[in-house]
């Protein structure tokens, strides 16, 4: 590692990477940080608005990194085959490669917002000139601390947190039923756009080219009351569990934390470590 590496913090538009940017500015003001956002061009409007607020707070530009090809051009290259958890061609082509191009051959310390209460590593580059650093792990910062950092900064959580907790593309296949319903209700035009990418049989059943295996978006949101009822049930269970546990609970953000935990009960997959941190 050179004695004068570049310092790069990749902001996903999610709560953890945003809190990390705030934390680094407050605790390591001497570090000349470069902020980047790997932009697929298909992010939520709330994410772009949140990024503007982050820039104002940091007093620095967040550089948007884009692939040479658009989402639609990549999809064409993959013969219309939508990405999935098992075949995640979108993350590598629209996020990782643009990031690695931006880094080039420079020696870089890449700051990653994985928290102390998480047992995962995030995006580890295979490039030997990129070294990962985990300040939240070094400082024992957990989920409640992250919420506190966001609250104290005045930034709070991104607006999409009212109906979904993960950052990333509006059509991300990692979304849970409640989040697909949220997309339909908050951004009906984006929901319709997501639907257009699906290839379905004449009788409306799913083919191989759908966001969720063996079903269509219309099927997923067919019974909105049932989805809402299930979500409420999960939230009540989370609240009851927390009442019994002795962990410290941040009153000011308990609703957001309950919401996130309730969504995890529907589907506890971690999502994408590059897109959703």
Residues found near ligand SF4 in the complex (CB under 6 A):
40, 83, 88, 90-91, 94-95, 168-169, 172, 174, 272, 275
**Least distance CB 83 / ligand SF4 (angstroms):** 5
Distance of alpha carbon 46 from alpha carbon 89, whole angstroms: 24
Distance of alpha carbon 64 from alpha carbon 76, whole angstroms: 23
Nearer to ligand SF4, 195 or 239 (CB): 195
**Least distance CB 216 / ligand SF4 (angstroms):** 17
**Least distance CB 23 / ligand SF4 (angstroms):** 24
**In the complex, residue closest to ligand SF4 by CB:** 168
Distance of alpha carbon 150 from alpha carbon 181, whole angstroms: 27
Nearer to ligand SF4, 93 or 110 (CB): 93
Nearer to ligand SF4, 75 or 141 (CB): 75
Residue 116, φ and ψ in degrees, nearest 5: -65, -25
Nearer to ligand SF4, 88 or 151 (CB): 88
Nearer to ligand SF4, 67 or 153 (CB): 67
Nearer to ligand SF4, 103 or 272 (CB): 272
Residue 60, φ and ψ in degrees, nearest 5: -145, 150
Distance of alpha carbon 242 from alpha carbon 93, whole angstroms: 40
**Least distance CB 272 / ligand SF4 (angstroms):** 4
35 bridge partner residues? 9, 62
Residue 141, by phi and psi: left (phi above 0), alpha (psi -120 to 50) or beta?
Answer: beta
**Least distance CB 114 / ligand SF4 (angstroms):** 17
**Least distance CB 237 / ligand SF4 (angstroms):** 27
């Amino acid at each position: 590692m050179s004695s004068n590496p570049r310092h790069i913090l990749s902001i996903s538009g999610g709560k953890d990477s945003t809190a990390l940017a705030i934390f680094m500015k407050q605790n390591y003001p001497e570090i000349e940080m470069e902020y980047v956002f790997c932009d697929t061009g298909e992010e939520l409007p709330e994410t772009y608005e949140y990024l503007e607020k982050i820039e104002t707070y940091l007093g620095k530009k967040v550089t948007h990194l884009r692939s040479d090809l658009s989402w639609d051009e990549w999809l064409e290259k993959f013969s219309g085959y939508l990405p999935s958890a098992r075949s995640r061609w979108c993350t590598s082509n629209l996020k990782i490669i643009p990031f690695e191009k931006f880094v080039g051959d420079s020696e870089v310390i890449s700051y990653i917002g994985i928290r102390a209460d998480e047992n995962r590593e995030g995006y580890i580059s295979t490039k030997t000139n990129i070294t990962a650093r985990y300040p939240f792990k070094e400082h024992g910062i957990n989920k409640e601390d992250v919420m506190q950092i966001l609250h104290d900064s005045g930034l709070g959580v991104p607006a999409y947190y009212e109906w979904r907790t993960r950052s990333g593309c509006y059509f991300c296949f990692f979304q849970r039923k409640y989040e697909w319903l949220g997309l339909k209700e908050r951004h009906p035009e984006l929901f319709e756009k997501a639907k257009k990418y699906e290839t379905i049989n004449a009788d409306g059943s799913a083919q191989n080219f759908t966001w969720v295996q063996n079903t269509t978006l219309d099927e997923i949101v067919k019974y909105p009351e049932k989805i809402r009822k299930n979500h409420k049930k999960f939230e009540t269970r989370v609240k009851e569990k927390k009442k019994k546990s002795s962990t410290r609970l941040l009153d000011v953000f308990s609703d957001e934390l309950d919401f996130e935990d309730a969504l995890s009960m529907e589907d506890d997959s971690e999502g994408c470590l590059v897109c959703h941190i």
